[in-house]
Amino acid sequence: MTPNPPGATQAIDAASVDAAIQSRLSARAFLPTPVSRDTLEHILQVAARAPSGTNTQPWKVYVLQGPSRDRLVDKVCAAHDALRADPSLADQYREAYDYYPTQWVSPYIDRRRENGWGLYGLLGIGKGDKDKMHAQHQRNFRFFDAPVGLMFTIDKIMGRGSLVDYGMFLQNIMIAARAQGLHTCPQAAWNGFARIILPHIGAGESEMLVCGMALGHADPDDKVNGFITPRESVASFTHWLG
């Protein structure tokens, strides 16, 4: 089926668009099945139609597969272990921007707690089980075994509005991946290890890490991929003005 050209008034198959969006989830277990470069290039080409202020297109993408992926996994997992052993190292691993608020308030803290309790409860990880929590958190730094890791950077000179643009680009990647039968997991967990990641991927000194992403074929037999987060109703977040 030929896709609609830019500017077309309606998608050819609106139900498929809805299905791609509604079936997206943050997969936390992947199969080792490889993803071809052609497929990845197609996803990125589609995603690049994301809007951006004055068409600045502020995204830069680094694709990690094979040895480059594995080396980064080893480096960051080692740093993550070292940080646990010596919390004073935290000053070396600071995020370049605040992804989360410095002070949590309702309803956001309530949703965060519900998410954590739901995920860790499914995995059988109790509140005080620090070893299992550490191991599960480190799954992030193994890309949840996905064969493809993506790192996204932005030039530091760009304003906060460009992060809004970036979010639309990232969402496009995730939806375009669903159209190819693939799943993803966007990951801000990597951000604190930017000092390791940026040199590894060859990013310039002017670049800031935005986030990482795991991409591949989700493991349908792993129970963690049955964890579906709830969403608020339209009525709860919408104000109709007439």
Averaged pLDDT for residues 74-98:
96
For the chain, give the mean pLDDT.
95
- The domain spans of the chain are 24-88+141-227
Structure confidence by residue, pLDDT tens digits, 112-161: 999 999 999 999 999 889 999 999 999 999 999 999 999 999 999 999 99
Averaged pLDDT for residues 48-68:
98
pLDDT at residue 12 in the model:
75
Q: Find where tokens 């709830």 sit.
A: 230
pLDDT at residue 127 in the model:
85
Q: How confident is the model at residue 1 (pLDDT cuts 50, 70, 90)?
A: very low
Q: With 0-12 CB in 10 A as exposed, 13-18 as middle and 19+ as buried, what is 60?
A: middle
> Diameter of the chain by CA atoms?
58
Q: Give the other-Cβ count within 10 Å of 142's Cβ.
A: 17
Rounded distance, CA 114 to CA 111, Å?
Answer: 5
CATH architecture of 24-88+141-227: 3-Layer(aba) Sandwich (3.40)
Q: Count CA atoms within 13 Å of residue 11 on its CB side.
A: 8
Q: Is 148 helix (H, G, I), strand (E, B) or coil?
A: strand
pLDDT at residue 6 in the model:
66
pTM above 0.95, yes or no: no
